[in-house]
């Protein structure tokens, strides 16, 4: 049989259905199976997407299925779980979503799945860690969406500020996908030049003091979107498709994901947002950036917050 790329999507809510739509429109996968507790919703999505195949860039086989379909999947993408409500932080979701994930991951592994997990449900760093524990897979094959969206938001805000196309702006958000994340200004550049050089070149137009406001817009973006429309889903869905493409096409692309640290950035036994090389095997390598003293301190505080928050669920579900 000809080798095909199969993606299994678990959760067809706002994020999941947006991911499926974006995946089809970019022609990334050969097969896409939709899995959800609400079988009617999953079946309806599959029907709706199939009706658009005549307009898609390539033919993708799409159907609604169950956990048994994960057996031959290259990637299982998890977007299922409780949603973040207005005024609620991503970490507030931890207990209820950990319980949901235990059932999901054990069901996937029961199918004989031996591929790569992509996790998008919040709090994504901790749920990625729990997926790794529940699955028993090597850590490089369990990846969270991490700060991929935060990084994209930062690149957009900087592109607006400096009036340069987003694709020519490079910068990272690291740490927790949440309130303790940090911008890595020391490695941010516009068209190959440090943002500080750019500011210095045009002191009448740009000011270093504006960077704090730019970061606040990035950090608080989800809260503003949730206030206006109830949920964020388009941006993260496109970020998940970018990750899917990097894996299936063996790209060796550098993306800010929730990756497992083993001594990187002086941290151990933790999933957290860091730049990493992504290819067919999952995380090929964690990129070790030379951070400033202030950035190191912010990163360590973010890591400590995640570890402290994770302790109760680790004790309850893993026994450590």
List the chain pLDDT tens, one digit each, 320 residues: 467 899 999 999 999 999 999 999 999 999 999 999 999 999 999 999 999 999 999 899 999 999 999 999 999 999 999 876 777 766 677 888 999 999 999 999 999 999 999 999 999 999 999 999 999 999 999 999 999 999 999 999 999 999 999 999 999 999 999 999 999 999 999 999 999 999 999 999 999 999 999 999 999 999 899 899 988 999 999 999 999 999 999 999 999 999 999 999 999 999 999 999 999 999 999 999 999 999 999 999 999 999 999 998 998 898 76
Structure-token pair, residue 246: 């990097």
Regarding whether 180 and 123 lie in a shared domain, the answer is no
The verdict on residue 278 lying in a domain is: yes
269 phi, psi to nearest 5 deg: 55, 55
- The single residue of 140, 170, 177, 233 carrying the catalytic annotation is 177
The verdict on residue 1 lying in a domain is: no
**Integer Cα distance of 320 and 305 in angstroms:** 17
Regarding whether 105 and 215 lie in a shared domain, the answer is no
Q: Which helix (H) or strand (E) covers residue 150, if one does?
A: helix 148-162
Regarding whether 130 and 99 lie in a shared domain, the answer is yes
Regarding whether 131 and 260 lie in a shared domain, the answer is no
Residue 256 C-beta-side C-alpha neighbours within 13 Å: 27
Q: 203: domain range?
A: 148-314
Regarding whether 307 and 164 lie in a shared domain, the answer is yes
The domain boundary, picked from 126, 144, 162, lies at: 144
Question: Among candidates 152, 99, 93, which has minimal Cα distance to 125?
Answer: 93
The number of domains in the chain is 2
**Integer Cα distance of 245 and 225 in angstroms:** 26
* Residue with token string 């999952």: 282
CATH code: domain of residue 85: 3.40.50.720
Regarding whether 167 and 43 lie in a shared domain, the answer is no
CATH code: domain of residue 270: 3.90.110.10
Asked if 51 is an active-site residue, the reply is no
**pTM confidence score:** 0.94
Structure-token pair, residue 251: 């790209």
For residue 11, CA distances in Å to 36, 90, 99, 124, 136 come to: 5, 18, 15, 15, 22
């Amino acid at each position: 049989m000809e080798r095909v790329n199969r993606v299994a999507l678990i959760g067809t809510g706002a994020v999941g259905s947006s991911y499926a739509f974006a995946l089809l429109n970019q022609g990334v996968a050969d097969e896409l199976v939709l899995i959800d507790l609400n079988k009617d919703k999953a079946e309806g999505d599959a029907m709706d997407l199939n009706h658009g195949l005549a307009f898609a860039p390539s033919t993708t086989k799409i159907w609604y299925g169950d956990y048994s379909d994960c057996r031959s999947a290259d990637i299982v993408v998890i977007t299922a779980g409780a949603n973040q409500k207005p005024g609620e932080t991503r970490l507030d979701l931890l207990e209820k979503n950990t319980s949901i994930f235990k059932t999901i991951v054990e069901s996937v592994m029961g199918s004989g799945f031996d591929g790569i997990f992509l996790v998008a449900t919040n709090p994504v760093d901790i749920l990625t860690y729990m997926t790794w524990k529940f699955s028993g897979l090597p850590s490089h094959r369990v990846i969270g969406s991490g700060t991929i969206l935060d990084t994209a938001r930062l690149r957009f805000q900087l592109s607006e500020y400096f009036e340069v196309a987003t694709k020519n702006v490079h910068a990272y958000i690291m740490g927790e996908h949440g309130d303790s994340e940090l911008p890595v200004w020391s490695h941010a550049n516009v068209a190959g030049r440090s943002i500080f050089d750019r500011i210095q070149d045009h002191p009448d137009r740009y000011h270093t003091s504006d960077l704090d406001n730019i970061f606040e817009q990035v950090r608080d973006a989800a809260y503003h979107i949730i206030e206006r429309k109830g949920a964020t889903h388009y941006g993260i869905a496109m970020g998940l498709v970018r990750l899917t493409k990097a894996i299936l096409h063996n790209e060796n692309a550098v993306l800010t994901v929730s990756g497992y640290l083993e001594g990187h950035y002086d941290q151990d036994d933790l999933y957290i947002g860091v730049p990493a090389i992504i290819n067919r095997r999952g995380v090929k390598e964690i990129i070790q950036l030379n951070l400033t003293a202030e950035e190191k301190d912010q990163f360590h505080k973010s890591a400590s917050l995640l570890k402290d928050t994770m302790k109760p669920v680790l004790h309850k579900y893993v026994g450590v």
